[in-house]
Copies of this chain bind each other. A is one copy, B any other.
């Protein structure tokens, strides 16, 4: 048993932290987010330069030989700096699908692009009426002999405005929520029949509704087995959940630190509010929630490679804990900052917003609690879902 980071991981952490500190301060970030593009694309290039985008890939795939722990390190730093760049959509999800199930040709076409940052993937899984159920799909992919024809509407695809490619889940057979009959495709954003409606999100990112109208997808763009894509989708979603948890830990840690710092300086009735025992204990509770979230994130990340049921339980348990902790830490960070915490101008509110929205991503507390409970009861149908 070992909770140490490798030298490479520590290096990644340090250089990323420095880069963010120097090039992505609060005002720079704000300007980038409110620009038309909604990001500072130069950051992405620098991340690529640092090797971040190749860190979690095996050497065989052309990467640095790292794994999910490297992604965890990256995302925790992203969280600390509220970085909105599409590491999870492109590297964790796009890269994850390719790494786990991509054909040699698919890898050849895309892995290099992902690692260099030239290709950006977005993961188009959610649908307007499907909530967090990954199998609840109305998007269809009909085989037409040489390939597939996609029709459907994907909701709130994070990072889609910046994407060059989508990973799209679609139903190739079965009923709307059946575990069987799900297939996964790579779709180029500029393919004929693909259209998007782009918008900002409440926490400063960009997303799109993505529409597929008779989009022809060649058979070689199918990732993994036809009709049996759900286990793969669940696996990648769990990897994304672990990375999201790591991000949340970064966010929470800073929100907590800012709050403690503020409470030391802010005086009320002539006393720093950090001297009020009620606020002290609340900041202690924030501290404990953060510590436990870090523990759960380690746990979930380390268990990504274990049996399917262990992996799923671990990811869901972590997401539950992080959802609850994030809500508490975010709300109390605002409360202790008082009126100032309510202003756009202070950073803490943005940390609060990001924590809030992390819970609403890839399944909220209730969703993962239910999944965890079903897995604990050994309910095979849900376990397979």
List the interface of chain A (C-beta within 8 A of B).
276-278, 281
Contacts and interface: CB of A to CB of B under 8 A. Distances in A.
Q: Taking chain A's interface residues, is the majority helix, strand, or loop, or is none over half, making it mixed?
A: helix
Nearest to A280: B278
A120 to B, nearest CB: 45
A281 B279 CA distance: 11
Contacts of A278: 277-278, 281
A55 B266 CA distance: 59
A216 to B, nearest CB: 46
Contacts of A277: 276-278
A276 B278 CA distance: 9
Nearest to A277: B277
Ranked nearest first, the 3 interchain pairs of A and B with the lowest CB-CB distance are: A277-B277, A277-B278, A278-B281
Nearest to A282: B278
A276 B276 CA distance: 9
Nearest to A278: B277
Nearest to A275: B277
Contacts of A276: 277
A51 to B, nearest CB: 48
A33 to B, nearest CB: 38
A273 to B, nearest CB: 11
Nearest to A281: B278
Residue from A276, A278, A281 whose CB has the most chain B CB atoms within 10 Å:
A278
Contacts of A281: 278
A276 B277 CA distance: 7
A210 B277 CA distance: 53
A172 B278 CA distance: 59
A269 B276 CA distance: 17
A322 to B, nearest CB: 26
A278 B275 CA distance: 12
Nearest to A279: B277
Residue from A276, A277, A281 whose CB has the most chain B CB atoms within 10 Å:
A277
A278 B276 CA distance: 9
A278 B278 CA distance: 5
5 contacts: A276-B277, A277-B277, A277-B278, A278-B278, A278-B281
A282 B278 CA distance: 10
A98 to B, nearest CB: 46
A284 to B, nearest CB: 10
A259 B80 CA distance: 43
A281 B277 CA distance: 10
A9 to B, nearest CB: 39
A85 to B, nearest CB: 42
A278 B281 CA distance: 8
